[in-house]
Every structure is written in C-alpha cells, then in structure tokens.
Structure 1
Amino acid sequence: MKGPARTAAQLAGVAVVMAALSFAAVPFYDWFCRVTGFGGTTATAVQAPAGVLDRTVKVRFDASLGKDMPWRFKPAQREMEIRIGEVGLAFYEAHNPTDRRIAGTASYNVAPFSAGGYFTKIDCFCFEMQVLEPGETMQMPVTFYIDPDIVTDREGKYVREITLSYTFHTTDLPADTAAATKPPATGTN
C-alpha cells in the first residue's frame, strides 16, 4: 500500500483499537475500583474478620432517589457507632406510595473515598432489583464491618466517620413480571 491508502488503513486500525479500549474501559474501571476502593467502592465478604479492635468509627447512613423514582426511601437509623472489625446491621426503608408496581435498583457510595476499600459488605440489597407493590413498604438490611486493616492505611487510619449512601433508581420490570401487572384484556369478539 502506498500513500493515502496506507494512511487510511492506519487510521482505521487506530479507530478499531480505540473502540475496543472504550468497551474494555468500563469493566476495567469497575475492577480497579473494587480492588483499590477508589471512588468509595466497598469490598464484599462472606464473613467478618477474626479480630475486633477497641477503636470505633461512626457510620452515617444516607438515602436519596434518582430522577423519576416515586418511592420514599430513608435509612431506619441515621448513624451508629461501631468497633472496627465488628459486624454491623443497618436497615433502609422503601415505600411505594403509587398505585402501580415499581421496580428499583440501588447504587451506593462510601465517603470518604479512603474508607471505601475498608467498608466491607457481607450482605446488601444493592444492585439487586427490588419490586414494591402499590402501597408496599419494605425493610432492607445491610450487614457490614470496617476492615481492621484501615488502621494501618496511610489515609484510612485518620478516618473517624464514614457515610454509606444509597440512591434508588427506577428499573424496568422484567417482561414476565410486567406482563403480570397488566390488566386482563377485555372486549368483544
């Protein structure tokens, strides 16, 4: 290839590589955040660590709703004092005040960011679709602990308060669930 054809082929190759990298960016960023705790991303565990320290941390709970989410959503408690390594249990409450079934999914964040990798969830309602019937209220638990390694982290050792924030967003109901919510067809044949 010569001249313009070669340049066009190189530009096409660059475009293909850039497109591939853009698709890989989201999973890579998600992995990076989970490994490092960057952006307040929490860790997950099956059980709590063996040791509980005497040092305590105040955990504050925050709740908000995404655009167009008609639910009412709040933490059952505003804050709790917990020892580092101790398992904590908190509840959030969601209520559907409408006359229709609504599905929602919660995203979360932890502040300050330096605590994100040490705030470890054992069980959580986040990223799982929740469906509330008209007028239904649901209590949703979050089981967590603060990893004792926080006391040796360069920034984490200064953390005395952590805020766990959840935001509920409207989610489309699955086709089989949505079909069940439609009234039966009526009419004459």
Structure 2
Amino acid sequence: MSAISSKDQAVRAKRTALICAGVAMGMTGLAFAAVPLYDLFCKATGFGGTPLVGTAATGTVLDRKMTVSFDANVAPSLGWRFEPEARDITFRIGQTQTVFYKITNTSNRASTGIATFNVTPTQAAAYFVKIQCFCFTEHTLQPGESMEAPVVFYVDPEIAQNRDLNGVNSLTLSYTYFPSKNGQPVAESKGDAGNSNL
C-alpha cells in the first residue's frame, strides 16, 4: 500500500512541477508582451499622456482656444541640442497646426537618437491628435549636423463634450531624445555619460 502511495506522490510532484513551470513560462511571456500591449493601450486611449494618432484633420473648428506649450529635453549622454521653433502657440480647437523642432548633434561623433513624448495634463491627452510626428523614429546625425522635424497635430473638438476638461485651456507637449539602438531608447548608466556612439 505504501508503494502505491509513493507512486501517487511522485505523479503529484511531477504534475505540480509541470504546473509551476507552465506558470513561470506564462509569466515570462506576459512580461515580454506587457510593454507593447501597454503602448498599444496608451495609443488607443490616450492613457498616461499618450496622444492619439490621426490620419487627417478634423472638419470641425470651435471658437474655444487652446494654448500648447512645447518642451524639449535630451538625455545627457546623447550630446544633442533640441529645441522647438516656438515655446507655445494659441489656436482654435480643431485647427491643424504644424510646429518644427531643430535638432543638432553638438558632439564630435555620429550618434543615433530616438524621441519619446507625452502630453500633460494627462486627462486631456486623449484629445491631442498627432497627424505627423518624428517621435519613435531613429535619427542618426553626424558631428555638427542639424535637422528640422515637424509635428502636425490638432486638439479634438470632442474635448468640449468632456465637462471635466471645461477649464483646461493649455496643454504641454513634452519630448525627450534618448540614445537609441535597434529602434529602442537606451537607458543611461553611470558610465555612459558622454558616450554617444551607441
């Protein structure tokens, strides 16, 4: 009887080990899928200050005005200068706007960077619609080379239907350039300062 019991215990232990291995593999798969799924969720909903992406201008223009401020940042290890042509603009909601940013490699070596962005206040990000943007596209600049990059956008007139946002008359579009490799931003480490040829 104890031999059957030992056999049952071995089967149960093997089953438990297989279940634990399956759970661990599933968790690993979810960890790898979490970033792209979260990015997709943010782009679809405007969550976390992520603007929506549009393909064309809206047909409706409101009398209500909105001021958009432009913020430009660069990770210290990239060695680039990055600035908008205007610090802010005021326009009617629904009007399509184009603003250029100038990017210059101030280092003495070629380097590659990629920009990430967000919109604040975050609850209004779902109404900030980008038609064209340089973000999430790698750019390589030679020493001293400059480029101009446009962002084309509008504020969706649907914002007027959201009573919680009635008092919101200004937004900030904030970009940060990071060194990049294989189309992904590279996190800085203490030893990376000044090393921009990633």
Q: 1:130 aligns with which of 133, 139, 144?
A: 139
CA distances 1:58-81 after superposition (whole Å, capped 9, x unpaired)? 100000012411011111111000
Matched, 1:116 2:121: no
Task: Write the letter of the residue equivalent to 2:20.
Answer: L
Identity over the aligned pairs, expressed in percent? 45
Q: Is the alpha carbon distance of 1:128 and 1:23 closer, same or farther for their aligned partners in structure 2, counting shifts above 3 Å?
A: same
Amino acid at match of 1:143: V
Give the Cα separation in 1 of the matches to 2:174 and 2:68.
Answer: 10
- 1:155 shift after superposition: 3.2
1:167 is aligned to 176
Of the three residues 47, 64, 73, the one matched with 2:56 is: 47
In 1, the alpha carbon distance for the partners of 2:176 and 2:39 equals 18
TM-score (norm 2): 0.81
Which residue, out of 95, 98, 107, partners 2:104? 95
Residue 144 of structure 1 aligns with an amino acid whose one-letter code is: F
Task: Using structure 1 for the length normalisation, give the TM-score.
Answer: 0.85
**What residue number does 1:59 align with?**
68
CA shift for structure 1 position 17: 1.8
CA distance in 2, matches of 1:40, 1:69: 24
CA–CA separation in structure 2 for the residues paired with 1:91 and 1:13:
50
The 3-state SS of whatever aligns with 2:126 is: coil
The one-character-per-residue Cα deviations of 1:29-48 (angstroms, maximum 9, x if unpaired) are: 11211111100111111211
Deviation at 1:171, TM superposition (A): 2.3
Pick the aligned partner of 2:78 from 33, 50, 69: 69
Structure 1 pair 118/102, CA: closer, same or farther in 2 (3 Å)? Answer: same
Checking the alignment, whether the CA contact within 8 Å between 2:119 and 2:173 is kept in structure 1 is: yes
Structure 1 residue runs without a partner (length 5+): 175-189
Q: What displacement does 1:134 show?
A: 1.6
Q: Max radius of gyration: which structure?
A: 2
SS of corresponding position for 1:48: coil
1:186 counterpart residue number = none
How many angstroms does 1:137 deviate by?
A: 2.0
2:45–2:52 Cα contact (<8 Å) kept: no
1:180 matched residue in structure 2: none
Q: Partner of 2:38 in structure 1? A: 29
Matched residue, 2:15: 6
The residue type paired with residue 166 of structure 1 is: Y
The amino acid that maps onto 1:77 is: A
